[in-house]
Structure 1
Amino acid sequence: MIGLLGLLALQLVVPSSEGRTIEQRITILAEQGARALTRIENSIFADPDMRSEIRRVGFVRGCNAVTETSRAVLARHHERIVEVVRAAIDEVIPESSLAQAQVLSLTVGSLAIYDRRVDSAVERIGVAELEAAREDMRSSFLTVTAALQDADDPNANSITPRADIARALSVSGDWDMDDQHHLAMACSEYRIPEAMRPTISGDGPISEETY
């Protein structure tokens, strides 16, 4: 069964490889990889103090703060992260695979088999660049939330996943706002426009590693 993020990605238009050189294909993939929000947002979701701050201001405002901050941080660090992702792609993906790919994406299509290996290479090659971006993410997030008051709605952190997602991920009841995987998935679900949301189906649970 295709992973949850793979299903979501199928709703998006991915670039065609037609008429593009190998160098152009690598450039497109590197730009895509550098824009991956999860790469730095996990520095918020994996940190108990940051999760506590999200609960303090309430899920919606907290998720919006994560989104606002991550986009600004990625813009500031974009060029350096692009170079890291490019180096990882050069190391992991054979030129023959790049040449044969019909769509340019590491999430769907023939190049998806390299996704995790590219991610691992990015983490290894870009230790300094990613840590700088993640530290920027944490400090900038706290700057944004410092201006927000405590949530006064007792249900501000009671967020229920859609039935199809709850079934696919074996979630019973509300998302656990102190579980980094639940919080990341809840925020991802919140940000997807209704018109772009697929219905998730399948006979077994999806691994937390898909998100």
Structure 2
Amino acid sequence: MRGRSAVAIGLVVVGALAMRHGARDREPRVHYRDFGGPRSLWHIPDGKALPSSAPTRVEIPDIGVDAPVMRVGLNKDGTVGVPPFHKAGHTGWYERGPAPGSRGPSVMLGHYDDMHGPAVFHRLHRLRPGARIRVTRRDRSVAVFRVDAMERVPKWEFPRARVYGKVRYAGLRLITCGGTYDKTDRSYNDNVIVYAHLTRGEVRHSPV
């Protein structure tokens, strides 16, 4: 993300706030599916879940991500806080939601690029269903997720229900910018969103 990235990705959290007031959104366009259709994310079995523990690192081998995680919350204007540009190699965990591995939709955000080049989620759009995401947590457990779907949607059509909607399984949503870069607005027009769920039998502890 360049320039006004905090405003651009802030639409994500505006969507979260709207969900609390019963706002509805259009059915998003899912480009890569694994569970048989765009409504399938709501029917993933509950499966296992972990006690809440803040994430400290995320690894996505298929796209070469191995990055530290920092907490982000809300700005005064209601937009989501994102990692500062001098930490464009970090991901941000939205701490007002579930921790990765706990039940519910955990949300992590990262920059697509900065003024110096590619950032942590520059290749997020290349993920495909079945890819693995490993999140190391403060309690030294490692939560392993399986990618279910990826979509790219215009920011003004952000799929609030899919990202923040209540689910009983331990879900993970990774978000960055994508699409065409608008030189006038100094922002990308779309959001890239990856959906994943905690896999069974793959929660293990990292070395001390």
- Please confirm whether the aligned pair reaches a TM-score higher than 0.5, indicating the same fold: no
- Determine which structure has greater relative contact order: mean sequence separation of CA pairs < 8 Å that are 6+ residues apart, divided by chain length: 1
TM-score (norm 1): 0.26
Q: Which structure has the larger Rg over C-alpha atoms?
A: 1
* TM-score computed with the length of structure 2 as normaliser: 0.26
